[in-house]
Structure 1
Amino acid sequence: MARRAQRRGGAQRSQRRVRDLDNEGIIPILARAVREVEGSAQRGSLPGSARTKFQVVGLLVREERARVKADTDSTESHRAEQLKRLDGIATILAKTATRDTTLLYLLGEDAEIGDEARDLRLDMLRRGGVEPEPAEIEDDAAEVVPDRGVLPTSVVSRRLSNPFLQPDFSGVDLRQRPRRLAGWELLGPLFRSFEYGGASACMPLPEHASTAAGGGRVLMHHQAQVVAAASEGHRTYLLADEPGLGKTAQALLAAEAAGAFPLLVVVPNVVKTSWAREAAHWVPDRTVTVIHGDGEAVDGFADIFVVNYEILDRHVGWLGGLGFRGMVVDEAHFIKNKASQRSQHVLHLSERIRARYARPLLMALTGTPLINDIEDFRAIWQFLGWIDDKVPLGPLVAALEETGLTPADGPSFYGAARTCVVNQGIVRRRKVDVASDIPARRVADLPVELDGAVGRSIREAERELAARLVSRYHTAMATRTSGRTVEGIDHELVRRVAGWELEDSSSAKDGENVFTMVRRIGQAKAGLAADYAAQLARNVGKVVFFAKHVDVMDAAEKVFAERGLRYTSVRGDQSAKARTEAIDGFVNDPEVSVIVCSLMAAGVGLNLQVASNLVLAELSWTDAEQTQAIDRIHRIGQDEPVTAWRVIASQTIDTRIAELIDSKAGLAARALDGSDEEVGGSADVQLEALVTLLTDALRAEEAAGVPRVNTVTSIA
């Protein structure tokens, strides 16, 4: 009797141990979860949380099956029992999917796994006693919070003022994935479709578009077409117009037409200031803030946020949660390498925006011809939401489905597929295509910020020069004893003081003056100007680069070499033979992208009309010198409109010099038209630059309430 009782007790303890083991690990967690999903399906409704749970259970069943099969420490019978239980869970998943076949897409190899699914998976693993790999947790956190992340105070204020950003569910169907084409590999054929040529890579655009932009501003016809398309509801664009055709204006006014504010604009550093200026011109009713450094000066309540690629890593965290309704990526070929950090940040921001708003305005701007290595556009298409890592998405996949074709149909599919992609929003116009829209020759200013120690040093030197002029002015004013009293600033005396300073500067061999300052500005701009010229060369072909000083030319050539661009050079110390070889190399060798020219040595006598783009890295002292440089490419034999990109250092005397050169150009035009006005030379621009600098400093004194003694003007 006692032995039978003992045996029964041992059997019960063994059964309890088996049941305890059955309730350990991840499998019981999965079994409960799949029963919950099955119950929801039987009730006729599968909410989003149940669909997420279905997907996570499917993923973990696969992982656990692989783990069990690889577990050599367990007995064969235990492994068989575990696999049998996993098969039972998989059977319930399959039965549930027969009630709603769309669940099958959640189990596909290319299925998108959202943040909610990742979080649920980690939670189930932990509840099942399985500690996730550290890399999984770190990678998940790294997607949202970069190591160098900052949070500007004004952005916190904006969040507090509007803590609830209402999501937009109006276009959930736009996120659809392949159905009839689900079994086909599509991205490769889509890229290859552009290798077969075909019609122009430009989507149909409205022919009748208003060129009026409001406030007296007027668009060119080709620009107005894109704005009209945005007004009609188109929301994604790969705007690949050649440089010089006004992509910035098109993007800003398309955002206005689409109501895509707040708008995020990601740009190279060299054009950051230019974007702010263009925004103030084309959409003056919208506030714009430019993000510098750690964003201490950011206006968190602005309509347009401009940030450069180089500092995006610090700001991607708060930018992703601000609630942007539109995003523009300028020089979008910068994100071609999907492994790069800046590409990953851009794609992350695009995904966040598309997750909140179904139809945001997304624009990728690049002058790079579409046909050049189409694989490079994989990241750009993903930014626009046309594809993900493995399949086409949304309207693109819908368009492909409607063709009724598959890659097996060969040329028919490729032609139709190319059209489907182009119609998603590829816009490509060349200068020759819209020559009637644009002038045959124009100068486009490109303002740049001089950051860092060099920029601070130049601005400090300019303040010292202004202070020296003010001191000379006050000294002259205090020592004069005759003449009539002048209220306020004595402009005649200002011109005399500027003249004295110019004479001293011309004869001085050392010390800071207007000439050394302009040279330092040119040196500081050299890298930025060369970087922009390199971008132009990559985009449209040959570029002429002009500079005044040898050290600026040297710095530019170093940049071109680092970028892998072949270049030639025309300098004053060259022999006639070397000069001829440099010119012939640029004109005749298709591999030579840039010619670096001295304004003094190459400003006349050269025929370089093989290029239609020119970069002026340093300003001349006369419009005539600038015009002579531009005329190296704007001459007989040129069959394209010419654009001269004039690089100007913002918030420095560079800006004043550019304005003076332009005013002298107008004066020269009037003189040629029969005016009696006398056209001055370089000394006039130098003098006027100093006059403007001194006048601005005296006005600043007046505004600050600095006491001023009465002045007299000499009657002599």
Structure 2
Amino acid sequence: MPTTATAAPRRKKTSRRDEEAPLIPILARKVREIEAKAQRSKLGPTNRVKFQVIAFLVREERARVKSDAELSDAARTELLKRLDGVATILAKTAARDTSLIQLLEADQATSPVAKRMRRDWLLESGAELAPEELIITDVAPVRSTPVVPAALAEKQVTPPAVEARQLANPFLAPDLTPRAESAPRRRLDSWELMGPLYKAFESGAGGGAATMELPPVPEYDHISPKGREVMVHQSRFVEAVRAGHRSFLLADEPGLGKTAESVLAASVADAYPLLVVVPNVVKMNWAREVELWTPQRRAAVIQGDGDDIDAFADVFIVNYEILDRHLSWLGAIGLKGMVVDEAHFIKNLSSQRSQNVLALASRIRERQSDPLMMALTGTPLINDVEDFDAIWRFLGWTNGEKPEAALMDKLEATGLTPADKAFYPEARDAVISMGIVRRKKKDVAADLPDKLIADLPVQLDDEFGRSIRQAERELGERMAAKYRRIVEARAAAHGPADADGIDDDIVRLVAHNELEESKAAGTGGDNVFSMVRRIGQAKALLAADYAVQLQRSVEKVVFFAKHIDVMDQAEAHFAAAGIRAVSIRGDQSTPRGSRRSTRSTATPKWASRCAR
């Protein structure tokens, strides 16, 4: 916080005590507003700034009062006592929300919003400020932030195929230096808008649905590949992309086909190369959806260091956990679009995962004039409307401190300010029109199939998965060797067989013998039974992780498993994710299972059962 101007000349003293320190009544009024807000709910961005400004002004006013030689001892004691009262309320507020304490650091940087707030309060108190404190300019956003932070520089990898793609381009590298931008002065530039925008979603709904107006269903379906057909609600979304809309918070309920909508949107917008950032468990499913809905496009699933990826693919699919090592080449490959699945994963702005996603999104917007940016989530509002912050930044609607140009233009068009009550529903509609799409199953029930069964293929790319594939190869080689020995023995006894190809009778015989040997061997060694069990163990955490994601959208999920050890892994994962679970196992007695089931019927969020 910049230092306050030297004690400004006060108005002519009278017998009123406030004339000796006219700033204190203002601080007392403001701190009571903060206290009342903190007692009702968590402080939002506006009130956090107000808390910070009050704290710094209390500190500065205390120093002024102590050094003012014109004050009597009694007056000085009285003023310091009143300042202590303000400080006590600040301390109680910080005790409720400990994150406020970091705002009190002496070197804490302040925003232009805080500087304006401080200036206005000082002017209200009658203080005279220096010219440099009267004129406050916004800090221009940094447009050339490096995609790869220094801490991750050594982790970066460049798959060999990526180098081949770069060398295959016969053109010189373009000049991508950001151009200087001159933004016109707007009516709302002096207002703090992020707090009011969050408040608009808390109090400005008026019962309206949080979804933008979408175009009508086209007369003909021009986008579905042969043998497939988009549903009506999907078609309307894709038509919005065809009409030129390029940023979306797609928050349809699970089961409404967000993945297919995103794939088709990329095709209509020609947003290739496209980057898709997803949880690990759904990477293969995304690749399958790309093949189903856009068979003319190629998808590359990035595993590990990406040594075997197809760098000439149209769609690159990567999970959050390994994105950090691929930031460098992904930021330089010329992406024209980006999709973030389960976007609530990036709500924590301090996490490295969120910073990686936002850095790539910023680079894409720097290099593309109108990229396709999509955030997918079935739970757009997790704990607080401020959880929108990271998603809005990813989509380019805000920069964290204020709305970006497109949203600012919509807010300007309302002709209102946050001081007007009518501003909040209008602001909410303005944000929704930027691209929020939220449909519930009951709203589109007529378009949905009676039942949907979906298989989610997964790729086991860790050490456990590699050992399973090696064991599978060895098992296959052993069974093939048995088949060849039987064929050779029959040929030696009866001569070569007349028919070419595979003898199905021998295959069945080999399979039956392997099954009998597996039963005799039990779980020892690599056999059919041990292989099935190991595959289940390898998929356990992936399946449990997907179930956790699903629970956040639909609340109640049943998790079935065949083996007890798979159940153990799943339950441990649920506990780590903060999900309550009730378990029904085959080794439980009937009374025990009944008691557990009865005890959990009031608030169960999970039921997991050992069955096949």
1:466 to 476, 479, 484: 476
The percentage of aligned residue pairs carrying the same residue is 52
- Could you tell me which residue of structure 2 aligns to residue 559 of structure 1? 573
Pairwise CA distance, 1:242: 1.6
5 Å-filtered alignment, 1:37-116, equals 108-115=137-144
TM-score of the two chains, using structure 2 as the length reference: 0.72
Code of the aligned partner of 1:596:
S
Cα 1:140–1:213 shift into 2, 3 Å: closer
1:500 aligns with 2:513: yes
Cα 1:585–1:221 shift into 2, 3 Å: farther
Cα 1:505–1:141 shift into 2, 3 Å: closer
**CA–CA separation in structure 2 for the residues paired with 1:141 and 1:553:** 39
Pairwise CA distance, 1:107: 7.4
Report if the CA contact (8 A) 1:187-1:390 is conserved.
Answer: yes
Report if the CA contact (8 A) 2:544-2:570 is conserved.
Answer: yes
- Could you tell me which residue of structure 1 aligns to residue 430 of structure 2? 420
Report if the CA contact (8 A) 1:533-1:545 is conserved.
Answer: yes
**CA–CA separation in structure 2 for the residues paired with 1:451 and 1:140:** 26
- Could you tell me which residue of structure 1 aligns to residue 441 of structure 2? 431
5 Å-filtered alignment, 1:135-146, equals 142=149, 146=153
- Could you tell me which residue of structure 1 aligns to residue 162 of structure 2? 155
Deviations 1:502-530 (A, max 9, x none): 23323332332212111111111111111
Pairwise CA distance, 1:417: 0.9
- Could you tell me which residue of structure 1 aligns to residue 610 of structure 2? 598
Pairwise CA distance, 1:232: 1.0
Pairwise CA distance, 1:243: 1.7
5 Å-filtered alignment, 1:395-414, equals 395-410=406-421, 412-414=422-424
- Could you tell me which residue of structure 2 aligns to residue 530 of structure 1? 544
**CA–CA separation in structure 2 for the residues paired with 1:145 and 1:336:** 21
5 Å-filtered alignment, 1:199-210, equals 199-209=208-218, 210=220
**CA–CA separation in structure 1 for the residues paired with 2:379 and 2:393:** 17
1:448 aligns with 2:458: yes
Pairwise CA distance, 1:441: 2.4
- Could you tell me which residue of structure 1 aligns to residue 74 of structure 2? none
Cα 1:324–1:107 shift into 2, 3 Å: farther
5 Å-filtered alignment, 1:481-520, equals 481-482=493-494, 485-509=498-522, 510-520=524-534
Deviations 1:437-462 (A, max 9, x none): 22232211111111222111111111
- Could you tell me which residue of structure 1 aligns to residue 190 of structure 2? 183
1:361 to 347, 368, 372: 372
Pairwise CA distance, 1:108: 2.8
1:251 to 262, 268, 293: 262
Pairwise CA distance, 1:336: 0.5
Deviations 1:366-413 (A, max 9, x none): 111437522112001100000002001132111111011111112x11
- Could you tell me which residue of structure 2 aligns to residue 195 of structure 1? 202
Report if the CA contact (8 A) 1:110-1:391 is conserved.
Answer: no
Cα 1:338–1:371 shift into 2, 3 Å: closer
Pairwise CA distance, 1:179: 1.2
SS at 2:252's partner residue?
A: coil
TM-score of the two chains, using structure 1 as the length reference: 0.62
Cα 1:399–1:248 shift into 2, 3 Å: same
Report if the CA contact (8 A) 1:169-1:357 is conserved.
Answer: no
SS at 1:445's partner residue?
A: coil
SS at 2:449's partner residue?
A: coil
- Could you tell me which residue of structure 1 aligns to residue 398 of structure 2? 387
Cα 1:587–1:241 shift into 2, 3 Å: farther
Structure 1 segments unaligned to the other structure (5+ residues):
1-105, 119-138, 600-619, 621-716
SS at 1:557's partner residue?
A: helix
**CA–CA separation in structure 2 for the residues paired with 1:220 and 1:424:** 23
- Of residues 523-532 and 429-438 in structure 1, the stretch that sits farther from structure 2 once superposed is 429-438
Runs ≥4 residues deviating over 6 A:
167-173
Deviations 1:633-662 (A, max 9, x none): xxxxxxxxxxxxxxxxxxxxxxxxxxxxxx
Report if the CA contact (8 A) 1:239-1:364 is conserved.
Answer: yes
Report if the CA contact (8 A) 2:147-2:363 is conserved.
Answer: no
Pairwise CA distance, 1:492: 2.5
Report if the CA contact (8 A) 2:147-2:359 is conserved.
Answer: no
Report if the CA contact (8 A) 1:266-1:329 is conserved.
Answer: yes
Pairwise CA distance, 1:202: 1.0
Cα 1:302–1:463 shift into 2, 3 Å: same
SS at 1:444's partner residue?
A: coil
Report if the CA contact (8 A) 1:326-1:360 is conserved.
Answer: yes
**CA–CA separation in structure 2 for the residues paired with 1:207 and 1:170:** 38
**CA–CA separation in structure 2 for the residues paired with 1:398 and 1:172:** 20
SS at 1:539's partner residue?
A: helix
SS at 1:527's partner residue?
A: helix
Cα 1:540–1:146 shift into 2, 3 Å: farther
Deviations 1:21-58 (A, max 9, x none): xxxxxxxxxxxxxxxxxxxxxxxxxxxxxxxxxxxxxx
Larger radius of gyration: 1
Pairwise CA distance, 1:297: 1.4
- Of residues 393-402 and 193-202 in structure 1, the stretch that sits farther from structure 2 once superposed is 193-202
Cα 1:508–1:540 shift into 2, 3 Å: same
1:262 aligns with 2:276: no
Report if the CA contact (8 A) 2:225-2:294 is conserved.
Answer: no
1:221 to 232, 237, 241: 232
1:571 aligns with 2:571: no
Pairwise CA distance, 1:169: 12
Cα 1:347–1:564 shift into 2, 3 Å: same
SS at 1:368's partner residue?
A: coil
Code of the aligned partner of 1:490:
D
Pairwise CA distance, 1:153: 2.1
1:285 to 255, 278, 296: 296
Report if the CA contact (8 A) 1:167-1:357 is conserved.
Answer: no
Code of the aligned partner of 1:569:
S
Code of the aligned partner of 1:274:
N
**CA–CA separation in structure 1 for the residues paired with 2:374 and 2:151:** 23
- Could you tell me which residue of structure 2 aligns to residue 550 of structure 1? 564
**CA–CA separation in structure 2 for the residues paired with 1:223 and 1:107:** 47
2:244 to 233, 250, 262: 233
SS at 1:408's partner residue?
A: coil
Pairwise CA distance, 1:193: 1.2
Pairwise CA distance, 1:552: 0.6
- Of residues 536-545 and 176-185 in structure 1, the stretch that sits farther from structure 2 once superposed is 176-185
**CA–CA separation in structure 1 for the residues paired with 2:420 and 2:429:** 15
- Could you tell me which residue of structure 1 aligns to residue 73 of structure 2? none
**CA–CA separation in structure 1 for the residues paired with 2:243 and 2:147:** 39
Structure 2 segments unaligned to the other structure (5+ residues):
1-134
Deviations 1:438-491 (A, max 9, x none): 223221111111122211111111111111111111111111234851112222
- Could you tell me which residue of structure 2 aligns to residue 580 of structure 1? 594
Report if the CA contact (8 A) 2:152-2:324 is conserved.
Answer: no
Q: CA RMSD in A?
A: 2.6
Cα 1:325–1:176 shift into 2, 3 Å: farther
**CA–CA separation in structure 2 for the residues paired with 1:479 and 1:232:** 70
**CA–CA separation in structure 2 for the residues paired with 1:236 and 1:168:** 22
**CA–CA separation in structure 2 for the residues paired with 1:281 and 1:144:** 39
SS at 1:215's partner residue?
A: coil
Cα 1:582–1:110 shift into 2, 3 Å: farther
1:479 aligns with 2:489: yes
5 Å-filtered alignment, 1:630-641, equals none
- Could you tell me which residue of structure 2 aligns to residue 698 of structure 1? none
**CA–CA separation in structure 2 for the residues paired with 1:554 and 1:501:** 29
